[in-house]
Amino acid sequence: MRPQIFGINGVRGKANVWPITADVVLRLGQAAGQCFKRSGRSNSVVIGKDTRVSGYMIETALTADFASVGMDVILTGPLPTPAIGMLTRSLRANLGVMISASHNPFEDNGIKLFGPDGFKLCDAEETAIEVLLERPYDVVEPSLIGRARRIDGAAERYINFSQQALPRDIRLDGLKVVMDAANGAAFRMAPNLIWELGAEVIQIGTDHNERNIKDNLGSSAPDSYCAKVLEVGADIGIALDGDADRVIVIDEKGKVRDGDQLMALIAERLKSQDCLAGSTLVTTVMLNMGLEQHLAGHGIAVDRTKVGDRYVMERMRAKKYNLGGEQSGHIVMDDIATTGDGLIVGLQALAAMVETGLSASEILARFEPLQQVIRNIAIDRSSTPLERPAVSALISEMTAALGDKGQLVVRPSGTRLLISVMAQGHDLGLLQKMTLDLERVIRAETVLQQRDQSWAHEIHSLKQPMADGARSVST
């Protein structure tokens, strides 16, 4: 059976290595096109990308794929992921595609798919595409082959769309903003948007060369932009990831304010305006427990999901909530956007500063977070250490020790070959010891599992019957 190519956030991996190879991408595009084509109407797909050089390879393959099954292709060039969701819906396309590995290293790339409503595909839709991958090619006759064209003004459309997320009378005059675009998809439009609203903008991460995306920049590498905020005396810093669907904010003191603080700010603002649907924030099991306790004091409930923005979005849509997100800064405001939008979320912090006259440190220190320790442990594709009895027993023991005063979350990453360990509570020393002990056991059990698999393979080989024509020889 062919391995499943979809993870929790589309298809992702190292460029030119399965599943991000030209041949797999060709089949994926054809399968997705067949799945979303509609008879009796024109069919189109919007394709955007970030600034990775491998995006050319994937974009070209996908263009051929979709054209071969009779879909017209609209190419946007580098554009944030949320812009692709917006354009898919506004251009009435059958499908949207974003070529990006988000916050992953330059060598990686990925494919995110959006339905005609601008939302990421659900499990059932991805499964339908997986099924078609196994079937014979089904291309159209020559007269029905699709066309490809580049769309003009896509960035301007997205800037106008983003500006509508602010009240009309909001201006950023007098604010000095450091804008870090991680040399990614928003390298042009992010600073332009903030500048058009009146702020003084100091740019970093806006000089991409197709090989330096996220190069010690962006939302997952805080040192560079924290230093820049302090160096230039900025009022605030806004850092995006490679495809601009995540954001982290830095206050004027150079302190990082993560997605939990941003979600607290936005939830309280919406609640005060009687606009927070269900008085509920949807987030994942990775949230800081301090956030949950803080929101409870404001009459706001927390609905937790598995890790992954798709699960947050699915819960929001199922229960008609309008705010959800993750500590990483992937935050969805469903009344405005169909997926996480780093620029729109960053604008909420700027709007709060203008409306209140308070500093970034005052508006973004919403609660005192519990101590958290996170470790990421590299594994290979065949390793399943969380299934080992020694690991599961230690996790149970540590969970019991933390009780209701802390939390331990151990999970495989949905986008990289990692086991992520997060522990939170009041005693930093205890959390550090727990996560280190767990890392050691996971590494040890991974080695043992690899040895067991090697022995099993050798035994299986010895048991195989001799090939035809071979004979045993005794002496």
Cα(62)–Cα(136) distance, integer angstroms: 18
Cα(61)–Cα(28) distance, integer angstroms: 10
Query: Nearest-CA neighbor of 343 among 151, 90, 166, 200?
Result: 166
Q: How far is CA 30 from the centre of its chain?
A: 24
Half-sphere exposure of 82 (CA within 13 A, CB side): 30
Residue 448: its H or E element: helix 428-463
The H helix count followed by the E strand count for the chain is 14, 18
Q: Which residues of 365-399 are buried (b: 16+ CB within 10 A; e: fewer)?
A: bbbebbbbbebebebeeebebeebeebeebbeebb
- CA dihedral (58, 61, 65, 67) in degrees, to 10, reads 110
- CB atoms inside a 10 Å sphere around CB 231: 11
CA R_g for the chain: 24
Q: How far is CA 90 from the centre of its chain?
A: 23
39 catalytically annotated? no
Pairing of strands 331-333, 280-284: unpaired
User: Which of the residues 44, 54, 102, 220 is marked catalytic?
Assistant: 102
Query: What is each CA distance from 255 to 230, 283, 361, 410, in whole angstroms?
Result: 10, 23, 8, 27
Query: What is each CA distance from 386 to 22, 304, 380, 419, in whole angstroms?
Result: 33, 22, 13, 9
* Longest CA–CA separation in the chain, Å: 96
Instruction: Please state at what angle helix 22-36 crosses helix 54-68, rounded to 10 degrees.
Output: 40
Cα(262)–Cα(287) distance, integer angstroms: 12
Q: What value, to the nearest 5°, has the Cα angle with vertex 250 and ends 202 and 245? A: 85
Which residues are known to be catalytic? 102
